[in-house]
Amino acid sequence: MDAALVEARGESPRFRQVPRPQPQPGQEVLEVLAVGVHLVTRAIAAGRHYAAGGRLPRVPGVDAVVRRADGTLAYVATPDSGTLAQRIAVETAAVIPMPEADPATLAASMIPAMSSWMVLRGGVPFSAGQSVLVIGATGTSGAIALETARHLGAGRIIAAGRNRDRLAALSRGVGAVQTVALTDDREATAAALAEAAADVDVVLDYVWGAPTELALEAILRNRADATQPLHWVQIGSLGGESITLPAAALRSNAIRLSGSGFGSIRFASLAQELPRLATAIAGGELSVRPRPFALADVESAWSADVVPGERIVIIP
C-alpha cells in the first residue's frame, strides 16, 4: 500500500510502498481518510520532540481521521501511530468514535484545538466567566485557543503575540479580544502585560522561553490579590525550551504551573472530550482551514508554506 516514509532524520518523508498492516489480537485495521501535518508531527519525525523515538525508516504521523470497517468515522492520536499511510492497525481501545464531519477539517483542527480544549475542559479548574490569556495567540494553535476560550464561556480573553497585523484583526469585529504586542521593547511589553492581564485566571502559553519569563514577572508583580489562583499551562515552546524562574515567584503568589501534551492527559479524558470537540469543529464554532495534498505529494506538502489559520492535510 502507499505510505510516507521517513528514511533519514531531517529529511522530508518519501512516497513509498510498504506492506499492508497485519492486525495483532485486540487491533483493527482502519482506512485513513485524512492526516494533519502539525508542528508536532514534523518535530517527532525529525527527532526533535520528547516523544520521538524508534528506528528508521518509519511512517510518520501522530493522528488521523479514519473510517472503521462498519463505516463509522473515528479518530486516533498517539505519537507512535504512524498514520501517513492508506491503512493503519490500531488497538481497538485507542480508537475514538467521531460524529460525521468533513475529514479534512477534522484532521486540520483536532490537534491545534485539542491543546486548549483539554486544558479548559478539565486540565485546570476553569469555569465560565473567568479570564484567559493566550501567549502566542497569532499562531494557528493560539488563535484557535481564543475561539475555544470564547466557546467555553470565558468572560475576558487577552491575546498576546508578535504579529501586529494578526493582533489588529483580533481586536476588531465580532468576538474581539484585548491584545498585547510582544515586542523587543521589554519595558513597554511588560507594562502592557501588567495592564491587560495582571489578574488573569488562566494562561495558555504556546511560547515559553524569554517571552514567558517577562510575562511571568510582569503579571506576578502586579496582581491585586496574590492569593487569587493563577493556572499557567505550558503548551508550546516556540520561544525557547527553558526559562529561569525565581523561587520567590512560586512562594509569593498562588500560581500553579503545569503542562499539556502527549503523556500528560489520560486516554479516558481524551475519549470523553474529543467527540465533543469534534462536534464544535463540525458546527463551525472553531476550526482550522485544511490545505489538502495527495499522499503522493508528501515531499512538497512537508515543506509547503501555510498562512495562519491553515494546516496542511494529507489525503491518502
Per-residue model confidence (pLDDT) at position 160: 97
Q: Which grid coordinates are listed for 14?
A: 518519501
In contact, 238 and 139? CB cutoff 8 Å: yes
Considering the domain architecture, whether residues 182 and 251 belong to the same structural domain is answered as yes
Per-residue model confidence (pLDDT) at position 47: 66
What is the value of pTM for the model shown?
0.91
CATH number at 90 reads: 3.90.180.10
232 within domain boundaries: yes
Considering the domain architecture, whether residues 18 and 121 belong to the same structural domain is answered as no
150 within domain boundaries: yes
84 within domain boundaries: yes
185 within domain boundaries: yes
Compute the C-alpha angle 54/59/63, nearest 5°.
100
CATH number at 249 reads: 3.40.50.720
Considering the domain architecture, whether residues 177 and 290 belong to the same structural domain is answered as no
Considering the domain architecture, whether residues 124 and 255 belong to the same structural domain is answered as yes
Q: Is the dihedral of CA 165, 120, 234, 38 positive or negative?
A: negative
Per-residue model confidence (pLDDT) at position 293: 97
Question: What contacts 24+ positions apart, CB below 8 Å, involve 184-193?
Answer: 186/214, 189/214, 189/218, 190/214, 190/217, 190/218, 191/218, 193/160, 193/218, 193/219
Considering the domain architecture, whether residues 119 and 84 belong to the same structural domain is answered as no
Per-residue model confidence (pLDDT) at position 172: 80
**Which stretches of the chain drop beneath a pLDDT of 70?**
47-54, 80-81, 173-174
Q: Which structural domain, as residue segments, surrounds residue 211?
A: 113-259
C-alpha separations of 33 from 236, 274, 276, 292, 313 in Å: 27, 18, 20, 11, 10
- How many domains is the chain built from? 2
**Which residues, in sequence order, are bridge partners of residue 97?**
74
14 within domain boundaries: yes
Considering the domain architecture, whether residues 223 and 181 belong to the same structural domain is answered as yes
Considering the domain architecture, whether residues 180 and 93 belong to the same structural domain is answered as no
Average model confidence (pLDDT) for the chain? 92
- End of a domain among 212, 244, 259? 259
The closest of 255, 197, 198, 249 to 227, measured between CA atoms, is 255
Per-residue model confidence (pLDDT) at position 48: 67
The stretches of the chain forming alpha helices (DSSP H) are 39-45, 103-118, 140-151, 164-170, 186-197, 209-221, 247-251, 267-282, 298-303
Q: Which residue has the cell 485539542?
A: 114
Return d(Cα 172, Cα 166) in angstroms, integer: 10
105 within domain boundaries: no
How does pLDDT run across 165-218, given as a tens digit for each residue? Answer: 999 988 886 577 999 999 999 999 999 999 999 999 999 999 999 999 999 999
- End of a domain among 240, 259, 278? 259
Considering the domain architecture, whether residues 71 and 155 belong to the same structural domain is answered as no
Considering the domain architecture, whether residues 74 and 120 belong to the same structural domain is answered as no
Considering the domain architecture, whether residues 85 and 123 belong to the same structural domain is answered as no
In contact, 129 and 149? CB cutoff 8 Å: no
264 within domain boundaries: no
In contact, 230 and 203? CB cutoff 8 Å: yes
Considering the domain architecture, whether residues 85 and 119 belong to the same structural domain is answered as no
117 within domain boundaries: yes
Considering the domain architecture, whether residues 88 and 223 belong to the same structural domain is answered as no
